[in-house]
A and B are shown apart, each in its own frame.
Chain A
Amino acid sequence: MIVADRKSLQEILAMVKDDKKILIVGCKGCVTVCNVGGLKEVEILASSMKIARKKEGNPIDIDINVLERQCDNEYVAEISESVNDYDAVISLACGVGPQFLSEMYKDQTFYPGVNTTFFGGATQHGVWEERCAGCGTCAIHNFGGLCPIARCAKSLMNGPCGGSSNGVCEINKDTDCIWDAIVRKKMEAGELEDLMGVKGIKDWRTARHGGPRRSIREELVQGNI
């Protein structure tokens, strides 16, 4: 899923400091799963903001809504009747949400309430870790199913570098050296041969470096199948 962290209350409050009536809109997709932008988090943010504004003697009206997804226009369209009733809108979806909203409702201002961080999953309750860099050319099968692009601090295709120590990356003790894991897995499986030679140079055009990306599925463009 796409993982995000909520922005600080102070940052969010500063965004809407001149507004009297706002909408906070959550998303039932990834951000609900990673406990940052679902119904519960929307309600908590609304209440916290109301407390802050009451304390200042400048109360704010906050309505809430949680869309099925903010990355599909059919759901974004659900707030068309009310969206312009507000001075501003805060989206707790990933960075995609406030953009789809902004593109559909050009006269409204949408603020991101979260910092979108990475593609990952929960390794334990409350802890999410990065797994994918969305580079557009998946080759994890060549690395024991572990991605060095997303998980090596230097995205080495031929690791591990000289900073790998006791399975830990040189950048900090909380970061595993993924190359240590790749090498050990290959050695244990008797597949060391797979790591011999020079792994090819990556074509970054499929990653963000080739410019904004687009996926087209012709059969779907033509209509439902």
Chain B
Amino acid sequence: MSELKSGSNLEKVLTAGHFAFTGECGPPKGANVEHLIEKFQYLKGNVDAVNITDNQTAVVRMSSLAASKLMIDEGLEPNFQMVCRDRNRLAMMSDILGAHALGIRNMLCLSGDHQTFGNHPQAKNVHDIDSMQLIALVKKMRDEGKFMNDEDIDVPPKMFIGAACNPFADPYEYRVYRLANKITAGADFIQTQCIFNMDKFRDFMKKVVDMGLHEKCYILAGVTPMKNAGMANFMSKYVPGMDIPDSLINRLKSVDKRDQAEEGIKFALEQIEEFKEMEGVAGVHMMAIEWEHRVPEIAERAKVLPRPVV
């Protein structure tokens, strides 16, 4: 394998050809470090890296940069998320440098949910550059050692660059091309939106493989275990870009309320088994929303433990 781009654990796991397993953790709505560290413990050793969300759904939370540093201190590897909604190019570049200085080696570049969804809908959004341009910016800083304005950076920040992909948003036919653009921009790995519609995802991955995109970048399939039928219903109706087939909702409804969580996990485990075999899928991104404590069990049952040490 060629020289590593950032040397992050996630990069090493993927380049070594292992099936990656990443987690996700939302920083607290406050400065409650204890609770955050408690959530880290469920993920430690069970995943290769943990996404630290950046004011997700436009709700103010502890900074993703600070939470990423707290995570490093606890011996886990963060995947530092950065959205284009809250920072202009100056703030982005300075936070990228700061992230590298703090030992962060993975970044996920996102547009960010619109602030109308969040708890400060009155806010002015930034969107100085978009997620595609942010990917290209991180790559330029890393590979060329230059700022956006072409000035030299004395010590360039080394990041393993991630991007998101939602195969279930519209127009569907264009989604694979947008993914190709993100790879052209410089994405090293992709984490997809939560997948529930397996038929559509299989079709999408076939297109990805046909275009050879899986050879240019690692694609991690997004999995969110459903806690119950109510959650499935809610996400289907209110979370933008979600495609939740009725068959899944009905499957959850078909079992007793007490058993719906188990049914949701079973579905997630079936998905993971299929992803392990699916051409072009290099790993799974487990988004157990406010369910971090179930991750050890899910990882165990998904037979992705122990995580490789590389």
Contact = CB atoms under 8 A, between A and B. Distances in A.
Q: Do the two chains touch directly in the complex (Cβ atoms below 8 Å apart)? A: yes
Interface string B255-273: 0000000000000000000
How extensive is the interface on chain A, given as a class? 20 to 34
A157 B170 contact: no
A195 B116 contact: no
A156 interface: yes
A122 interface: no
Contacts of B185: 198
B171 A184 contact: yes
B127 interface: yes
B166 A196 contact: no
Contacts of B60: none
Nearest to A186: B174
Interface in B153-179: 164-166, 169-171, 173-174, 177-178
Contacts of A187: 171, 173-174
Nearest to A158: B132
Contacts of B181: 158, 195-198
A170 B240 CA distance: 6
Contacts of B164: 162
A160 interface: yes
Given A163-B240, A196-B180, A154 B170 contact: no
A177 interface: yes
B84 interface: yes
Given A154-B130, A172-B116, A199-B132, 17 more contacts: A155-B127, A155-B130, A158-B131, A160-B169, A163-B169, A165-B240, A170-B117, A170-B240, A180-B170, A187-B171, A192-B177, A198-B185, A201-B89, A201-B129, A201-B133, A201-B137, A204-B128
Contact of B130 (A159, A171, A177): A159
A162 B240 contact: yes
B114 interface: yes
A183 B184 CA distance: 18
Contacts of A199: 132-133
Contacts of A96: none
Query: Closest 10 A-B residue pairs measured CB to CB?
Result: A162-B166, A158-B132, A170-B240, A163-B240, A162-B241, A156-B130, A162-B169, A183-B174, A161-B111, A198-B185
Contact of B132 (A157, A162, A165, A171): A157
B250 interface: no
B125 interface: yes
A198 B133 contact: yes
What is the predominant secondary structure among interface residues of chain A facing chain B? loop
Given A171-B116, A195-B177, A158 B171 contact: no
Interface string A104-123: 00000000000000000000
Interface in A89-115: none
B114 A171 contact: yes
A163 B114 contact: yes
A79 interface: no
A202 B137 CA distance: 13
Nearest to A156: B130
B31 interface: no
Contacts of B116: 153, 171-172
B166 A154 contact: no
Contacts of A158: 130-133, 178, 181
B114 A154 contact: yes
A166 interface: yes
A164 interface: yes
A177 B240 CA distance: 13
A164 to B, nearest CB: 5
B148 A201 contact: yes
Given A164-B169, A167-B170, A196-B177, A156 B111 contact: yes
Nearest to B125: A154
Nearest to B192: A162
A156 B130 CA distance: 6
Nearest to A198: B185
A202 B128 CA distance: 8
Nearest to A153: B114
Nearest to B137: A201
B223 interface: no
Interface string B228-254: 000000000000110000000000000
